[in-house]
Amino acid sequence: MKDSAKNASMTDIASLKQELAHQIESARDTKTLEDVRVHVLGKSGQITALMKTLGQMDPEERKTKGQELNALKDEIAALISSQESALKKQEMDAKLANETIDITLSPRPAATGKIHPISRTMEELVSIFGAMGFSVAEGPDIEDDWHNFTALNFPPGHPAREMQDTFFLPDTPGESDPARAKKLLRTHTSSVQIRHMENNKPPHKIICFGRTYRSDWDMTHTPMFHQVECLYIDKGVTMAHLKGCLTDFVRAFFNNDSLPVRFRPSFFPFVEPGAEVDIGYVKDDKGGIRLGAARDGEEQRWMEILGAGMVHPNVLKNCGIDPNEYQGFAFGCGIERITMLKYGIPDLRTFFDSDIRWLSHYGFDPVESRN
């Protein structure tokens, strides 16, 4: 050790420096560079060994050699550290180049799903009535007799109940009030009016939609269908508001500013006066129809699309509202019916066949812009 140290101490520092610098520069990765570092500056490294020889020198020599060796050690350490950062950067660059993640979106397959026409109509209703300041209320499909009939001024045993062929469910056991015990599938969304008025303070300005159920089955009836109901109760609401709101609604929905709208007196227990609302159409030469006003020589025909009226005072009282203070209107309408008319869909039953060919024909592209 002493000899090799002595020999080492004889080594020309300048050429040692050159040689070490060469080793450092030719290290191609951080691992090799670390080996070089250990070999030079480690416990038994070359420079460390040289430092150890200082102890055997006389003071004069030790002073000069010591300075030279320290300078060498610093320079080599600096070289190693700069080579190390260069290598680390290189290695990081290589890693980044290898592990590149493409964060751009690749083109996706064209959307294959379609929006069902019922959903589409409901969205349109929300936007039309939303613009008039209505909000959306909800209620359950399984109702009790109170909300579906009694509170709506259908007294028990009243023949008007027969207008709606009802699916009854088993009574709720232990419920003493027969109107609450009797359960059924709601026959109309008018039950949501009652629930909303029971649970909120007037004024009321809502629409609600959802599934409704009647025991019917033909081209224009299915046991399950959808309705939308509109309710507006405030001080001083009149039949004129009903006519204005309804006319605006049907004209907006059918995209026809001059669509003729007609009110005919009709009976629903929960309104007084009550009306059925018709829209005008004409027959075209091909056996089809065109919604709108008749032109010269054409015959103006009418079709019924909804029921409406001023909410009956008994209904308001049943919901704890003083009819001398608040009045208002309601109307209700089959969603399939207006959808069939708007988009020329001939058979209501096809809405619920889940036939994908039907849906791709009548359905709506999810990203298509609204009209």
Q: Least CB distance from residue 301 to ligand PHE, whole Å? A: 22
Q: Least CB distance from residue 231 to ligand PHE, whole Å? A: 8
| Residue with Cβ nearer ligand PHE (188 or 205) | 188
| Residue with Cβ nearer ligand PHE (53 or 278) | 278
Tokens of 141: 């499909």
Q: Count of CB atoms within 10 A of residue 81's CB?
A: 13
The span from the CA of 335 to the CA of 186, in Å, is 15
- Find all residues with CB under 8 Å of 161, minimum gap 6, and list them: 149, 154
- Residue 185 and residue 169 in contact, taking contact as beta carbons nearer than 8 Å: yes
Q: Least CB distance from residue 221 to ligand PHE, whole Å? A: 12
| Residue with Cβ nearer ligand PHE (268 or 351) | 268
| Residue with Cβ nearer ligand PHE (329 or 362) | 329
Pick from 149, 307, 326, 337: which binds ligand PHE (CB under 6 A)?
A: 307
- Residue 256 and residue 290 in contact, taking contact as beta carbons nearer than 8 Å: no
Concatenated DSSP letters of 297-314: TPPPEEEEEEEEEEEPHH
Q: Least CB distance from residue 217 to ligand PHE, whole Å? A: 17
Total chain residues near ligand PHE (CB under 6 A):
12
Q: Least CB distance from residue 352 to ligand PHE, whole Å? A: 19
Long-range contacts at 319-326 (CB < 8 A, ≥ 24 apart): 319/151, 319/194, 319/197, 319/198, 320/197, 320/198, 321/197, 321/202, 321/233, 325/235, 326/202, 326/203, 326/233, 326/234, 326/235, 326/237
- Of 342, 278, 336, the closest CA to residue 307 belongs to 278
Crossing angle (nearest 10°) for helices 30-41 and 46-53: 10
- Of 69, 92, 86, the closest CA to residue 25 belongs to 86
| Residue with Cβ nearer ligand PHE (188 or 195) | 188
The span from the CA of 274 to the CA of 263, in Å, is 9
Give the number of residues written for the chain.
Answer: 371
Q: Least CB distance from residue 225 to ligand PHE, whole Å? A: 10
| Residue with Cβ nearer ligand PHE (5 or 228) | 228
Pick from 192, 308, 338, 359: which binds ligand PHE (CB under 6 A)?
A: 308
Full 3-state SS string of 207-221: EEEEEEECCCCECCE
With contacts defined by CB under 6 A, name the span among 16-24, 77-85, 96-104, 305-313 that binds ligand PHE: 305-313
Pick from 188, 204, 226, 312: which binds ligand PHE (CB under 6 A)?
A: 188
Pick from 166, 190, 318, 327: which binds ligand PHE (CB under 6 A)?
A: 190
Longest dimension (CA), the chain: 131
Q: Does 149 bind ligand PHE (CB under 6 A)?
A: no
| Residue with Cβ nearer ligand PHE (144 or 229) | 229
Which positions from 255 to 274 touch ligand PHE by CB under 6 A, shown as an x/- string?
-------------x--x--x
Site residues (CB under 6 A) for ligand PHE, limited to 318-337 = 330-332
Residues in touch with ligand PHE (CB under 6 A)? 188, 190, 229, 268, 271, 274, 307-309, 330-332
